[in-house]
Amino acid sequence: MRAGVFPHTLNTKSIDESAERLDVIVGRPRKMSEEYAMVNSFGFGGVGASYAYMRFSRVNRERMGNPF
């Protein structure tokens, strides 16, 4: 997010019809200016994690308060 480039989804050649409304990045990384992003990671044995990111900016810091 800091560089404004989001990676593509690996090993994706085509998107299923049921997921056409999602903005899936296929083929190569894409330059974007987004405030929020979410990453889902899945492993063997039911291990999984989701991360939600928010771009750090002075406006967001003032809105959320200074935790330090």
Give the list of residues 6+ apart from residue 24 with CB closer than 8 angstroms, or none. Answer: 9, 12, 15
Number of domains in the chain: 1
Q: What are 17-42's pLDDT values in tens digits?
A: 998 888 888 889 999 888 888 888 99
Q: Give the domain extent around 27.
A: 5-64
pTM greater than 0.75 (yes/no): no
Residue 47: its pLDDT value, please? 93
CATH number of the domain that residue 31 is part of: 3.40.47.10
Q: What are 44-61's pLDDT values in tens digits?
A: 999 999 999 888 776 666
Compute the CA torsion angle 25, 30, 42, 16 (nearest 10 deg).
0
End-to-end CA distance of the chain: 23
